[in-house]
Amino acid sequence: MGGRTQIGGAASIALRPALESPRRPARVLAAFPLAVYLEVRSEYEPHVIALVSGEAARLPNAVVVAAPLARLPLGDECWVGEGSIGLGGVGIRVRRWWDPAPPLGSAEPSRLTRALAHLDDICDHSQRRPGLDVAGAPGLLASGCLAGSLVDGIVAAERLLGLGPGLTPSGDDMLCGLLVALRHLGLAAGAPRAIWLADWLAAAVTYDARTRTTPISATLLHCAARGQAGSEVLGVLRAIAGHQPLDPAAHRLLSLGHTSGADLAWGIRAGLAAVLALRSWPANR
């Protein structure tokens, strides 16, 4: 990396397989003022890495860099591996790691019930709305999860995968919110059926995500399948479990993107409602 400007970064542990492997070629997939997305030529998941500044949303596949990055041309060649990233005239060395799936601990069902009512009220009174009609495939997904129906859940998830415009289609954001809520809140509430459902839905949506949606969204789905989420989503989950106030965390999430925050919030609400409904079910009923 001689001759490059050296900066440090803090990487999600979701990126360890890609960052600690031998060097692999990558390319600039998308570039914005606060984030640059790199696509790594690898079969590892996640295969898209987000280089973000401290002001950007901290995605579960992010490396938070210590200095702003210059806008780079799309398709520009770079490399990833051996604990570093090289792009343009910059070398980024990972100095520390952060966990995109920290455990919530246990949470009383009564607390979760109150949190669901509070979150519903915040979202229903917000001007931010999901990007899809929630009475369609999202409604089928929510009702299937409430009933603990794997068949209905998978059918609806297949319909939602890649549905909607943008780098992260609304259907994918809804699925991400649902998957992380089922897993984390299911663990917190002691609801094994919800975790079982999360496992199967995760397998279904990640099976062919690379061919069904955008590279960035496919990567985020693979992260969500493992319970890994961005800081705004994790903030809402922590608030639901009683570790911080819910209002500011929910408003931070809802402010993301054009509809991404509202889509993620819808998925969290659906997941939390399912956890409460399935709390007394055995895992394999």
Q: What is the pTM of this model?
A: 0.94
Query: What's residue 1's pLDDT?
Result: 45
**pLDDT exceeds 60 at position 224:** yes
DSSP states along 135-160: TSHHHHHHHHHHTT-HHHHHHHHHHH
**pLDDT exceeds 70 at position 57:** yes
Q: Where residue 3 falls among pLDDT bands split at 50, 70, 90?
A: low
Higher pLDDT, 2 or 103: 103
SS3 assignment, position 43: coil
Q: How many CA within 13 A on the CB side of residue 14?
A: 29
pLDDT tens string 105-119: 999 999 999 999 999
Q: What is the mean pLDDT of residues 207-230?
A: 94
Query: What's residue 84's pLDDT?
Result: 95
Q: What is the mean pLDDT of residues 225-254?
A: 97
Q: What is the mean pLDDT of residues 94-99?
A: 96
Query: What's residue 167's pLDDT?
Result: 87
Q: What is the mean pLDDT of residues 137-145?
A: 96
181-201 as b/e: b if 16+ CB within 10 A: bbbbbbbbbebbbbbbbbeeb
Query: What's residue 198's pLDDT?
Result: 97
Q: What is the mean pLDDT of residues 183-191?
A: 97
What are the φ/ψ torsions at residue 84 (nearest 5 degrees)? Answer: -140, 170
144-157 as b/e: b if 16+ CB within 10 A: bbbebeeebbbbbb
Q: What is the mean pLDDT of residues 186-197?
A: 96
Helices (H), the chain: 16-19, 109-124, 137-146, 150-160, 170-189, 192-206, 209-212, 215-225, 231-240, 246-254, 260-278
Q: What is the mean pLDDT of residues 82-111?
A: 93
**pLDDT exceeds 80 at position 2:** no
Query: What's residue 89's pLDDT?
Result: 83
169 vs 50, 123, 261, 273, CA distance in Å?
17, 19, 12, 23
Average pLDDT of the chain, as a whole number: 92
